[in-house]
A and B are shown apart, each in its own frame.
Chain A
């Protein structure tokens, strides 16, 4: 088109192009304004607090704030031999202040995280310090306990000088930074967290597999039965789906207890003798059984919605072309259900990996998962920064899976009920 071509104008004399763009922009703003209230609400109450967790997990200002003079004095100390008198003096005054403020307990907890054995020597120092004379604090402190004359303990204090730390994350996978600044694993018998991570993944994986093995046949049955039967059977899937999680867990607690119905049944058919009833609750078995039943609907529903769209004539065509029913199923039907399998498995896996209530109630000591550890640190040890670090590690795993899910299925395609 030549430039002389007349631009199309609206009745107001504005070029149509401009007018259209304006209208589009207006619509964009309108749409965005509709989303804004919820978006802002979630950002403030939810997304930013998750960011806050990140800050907490790496924040290490607590010790820095408690021992300001000590860290100032330590700046010139190279950490090879025992620190000079100034450091001891600064530490004496910092600690004295903490005792006056009655917050020295926090310091001993914090330093004990860095190096075991601080708790007792700090307590002893607190008792002896009342009789300290002015001057020559190095000698006096070293007298209190031989560990105060050990350079490693002073190095441990210096380690806490930076404001930010990755220590909580390292602790979450049972590692720490040793005196030389190298990252190493803790002793074999103290690796509690790695066991939990492995167990969480293992439980989530096997629950997903079990759900798939049980969910696939019934989803297939539901999708191929005539409507009036399948609607009735669908209730078996939907009723547990809508029932309270705690109710379902409670019913498993009743079923699986040692005098419970499952054990009664085993005794009746002679599988086990009456005096050797197996323990099926408060261990991994309980976690597996209960979680599989609770998460099964989340597998069946996506599978069902995909299978419903597969025309039965495809299987007939496969068979008529000479395939046995098995080959027709494997080569024709099964590949078509893969989107549903992906959706169901990822959904179940994501839910299972963060499960808390059921493992806490039926899992006992050997069936608890990473979430239970997070809750334990939130509520019992009050080590919130460690709980945050563990939570964020779990979250990053879930988000990675979610990203895959989004690539494969698309978030918009999630269907409910």
Chain B
């Protein structure tokens, strides 16, 4: 942002101060993530930069913690990763199906009690997680689903649907309903219309809602803490236990992998958002 030549000096000073403040805040936001990268390649057991690392000595770096993550004794991470992915995938599928169908109903002009129902559907997002955790635990304990994959998947569907409902309703708000009417007038039945016309058009919204649901499930620890047994351990649970007991560099290796995963998800979500904006003609 170049300043015009006629800018007064005190305003000029203020402007650069402002840019400096912004730079500091951006640094504060992003820098903590980058501490993890170098430390995860530490050859030593401590979570501080060793003298060797500061001098960029190649011997001070190693892949030992990544090896430990994959081949380590007792290795909880393999099982945790498997569980996390299975749970997240099923929870995402469930959230996307239930959420999209509900969003279709919600964005209809004819929907009765819209406000109340919308508030109910997105309540899991508003209610503090700890309370959701307690409530869901009571239900799962009664239903005999505590300490089972099914229970955790159901819990994550509860937590994930609000995101799908919100993103899909937002996409549908720019949706031209005359195309579905055109399809119906040409003799297509509602299911066919949905699959061939509506779904392809709202797909970006559905996928980005699905991504939110996936991340929510993949990152969720509070509710799982109440529900999980030893067999259902997930990556967040393992990290939580590790961080509480002893901070080992293996956790940093896992964290690095998670940051890479979230970068991939971020890129996908951004591309989808732009595509969706293009499709809806909000291109600026």
Contact = CB atoms under 8 A, between A and B. Distances in A.
Contacts of B93: none
Contacts of B109: 27
B112 interface: yes
A374 B240 CA distance: 18
Contact of B35 (A27, A49, A244, A254): A254
B135 A53 contact: yes
Contact of B138 (A52, A243, A259): A52
B230 to A, nearest CB: 15
Interface of A (DSSP majority class): helix
Interface string A259-293: 11100000000000000000000000000000001
Contacts of B128: 350, 353-356, 371, 394-395, 398
B134 interface: yes
B101 to A, nearest CB: 5
A187 interface: no
Contacts of A242: 215, 262-263, 265-266, 269
Interface centre among A236, A244, A394, A417 (most CB of B within 10 A): A244
Size class of the contact patch on chain B: 35 or more
A31 B108 CA distance: 6
Interface in B7-50: 11, 18-19, 21-22, 25-26, 28-30, 32-33, 35-36, 39, 46-49
Interface in B96-150: 98-99, 101-102, 104-106, 108-112, 115, 117-124, 126-139
A320 interface: no
Interface stretch (A96-104, A107-115, A191-199, A408-416): A408-416
B98 A37 contact: yes
Interface in A195-252: 214-215, 217-218, 221, 224-225, 227, 233, 235-240, 242-252
A28 B136 contact: no
Contact of B154 (A34, A45, A52, A253): A45
A24 B109 CA distance: 10
B201 interface: no
Contact of B136 (A37, A49, A248, A261): A49
A227 B270 CA distance: 14
B138 A34 contact: no
B110 A30 contact: yes
Interface stretch (B62-70, B159-167, B180-188): B159-167
Contacts of B108: 27, 30-31, 34
A50 interface: yes
B212 to A, nearest CB: 7
A250 B134 contact: no
B240 A246 contact: yes
Given A49-B136, A354-B129, A39 B263 contact: no
Contact of B243 (A46, A224, A250, A398): A250
Contacts of A360: 244
Contacts of B158: 41-42, 45-46
Interface residues of A, number: 93
B47 A254 contact: yes
Given A35-B105, A371-B128, A246 B236 contact: yes
A42 B99 CA distance: 11
A406 interface: yes
A214 B208 CA distance: 28
A69 interface: no
A251 B255 contact: yes
B57 to A, nearest CB: 18
A43 B98 CA distance: 14
A70 interface: no
A384 B26 CA distance: 42
B279 interface: no
B29 A33 contact: no
Contacts of B243: 246, 249-250, 253, 361
A296 interface: yes
Nearest to A257: B47
B91 interface: no
Contact of B25 (A43, A218, A244, A384): A218
Contact of A293 (B11, B29, B121): B29
Contacts of B99: 38
Given A31-B111, A235-B266, A350-B126, A53 B134 contact: yes
18 contacts: A28-B111, A31-B110, A33-B105, A34-B104, A38-B99, A45-B158, A218-B26, A233-B26, A244-B236, A246-B219, A247-B255, A254-B35, A254-B39, A375-B222, A379-B226, A391-B130, A416-B166, A417-B208
Given A398-B126, A402-B126, 6 more contacts: A42-B123, A46-B123, A49-B138, A218-B26, A227-B284, A254-B252
Interface of A: 24, 27-28, 30-39, 41-50, 52-53, 56, 214-215, 217-218, 221, 224-225, 227, 233, 235-240, 242-255, 257, 259-261, 293, 296-297, 325, 350, 353-357, 360-361, 371, 374-375, 378-379, 384, 387-388, 391-392, 394-395, 398-399, 402, 406, 411-412, 414-417
